[in-house]
Amino acid sequence: MALLSARRRWQLAGVAGLVTVIGAGITVVGAHAENADVFSADFESGSTSAWSKSGGTWSIVSDGSKALSQTSANSANAREFAGDTTWTNYTVSAKVKPLTLGTDGFVGLLARSKSSTTFYRLALLPGQVQLQAVNSGAVTVLATSKQTVTPGTWYTLSITTSGTTISGSVNGTSIGSGSSSVAAAGRIGLQTANSTARFDDVTVSTGSTSTTPTTPPVSTTTSKPVTTTTSAPVTTTSAPVTTTTSGSSTPVSGAIYVAPTGSASAAGTVSAPTTLATAITKVAAGGTIYLRGGTYSLSATQTIAVGNNGTASALKTISAYPGEKPVLDFSAQSVSDSNRGLALNGNYWQLYGFTVQKAGDNGIAVGGSHNTIERVVTAFNRDSGLQMSRVSSATAKADWPNNNLVVSSESHDNADPDGEDADGFAAKLTVGPNNVFQYDVSHNNIDDGWDLFSKPDTGPISPVTIEDSLSYNNGTLTSGTVNASGDRNGFKLGGSDIAVNNLVKRNVAYNNGHHGFTYNSNPGSMTIASNLSIDNAERNFAFDEGTSTFTSNTSCRFKVSGSNDKISGTADSSNQFYSGSNGSRCAPYSGALAWSWDTAGKLTTTFGGKAVTF
Residues marked as catalytic:
492
Are the beta carbons of 111 and 167 closer than 8 angstroms? no
How far is it, in rounded angstroms, from Cα 546 to Cα 497?
Answer: 10
How far is it, in rounded angstroms, from Cα 542 to Cα 568?
Answer: 9
Strand partners, 427: 388
Residue 218 gets which letter from DSSP?
A: B
Are the beta carbons of 491 and 466 closer than 8 angstroms? yes
Q: Rounded to an integer, what is the distance from CA 123 to the centroid of its chain? A: 24
Cis peptide before 233 (omega within 30 of 0): yes
Q: Which three-class secondary structure state does DSSP give residue 387?
A: strand
Cα-based torsion angle of the residue sequence 87, 92, 96, 100 in order, rounded to the nearest 10 degrees? 40
Strand partners, 318: 289, 351
Q: Which amino acid is at 192?
A: T
Q: Rounded to an integer, what is the distance from CA 522 to the centroid of its chain? A: 23
How far is it, in rounded angstroms, from Cα 319 to Cα 215?
Answer: 6
Parallel, antiparallel, or unpaired: how do β-strands 316-320 and 377-379 relate? unpaired
Q: Which three-class secondary structure state does DSSP give residue 281?
A: helix
Burial of 394 (0-12, 13-18, 19+ CB in 10 A): exposed
How far is it, in rounded angstroms, from Cα 451 to Cα 411?
Answer: 13
Q: Which helix (H) or strand (E) holds 278?
A: helix 276-282
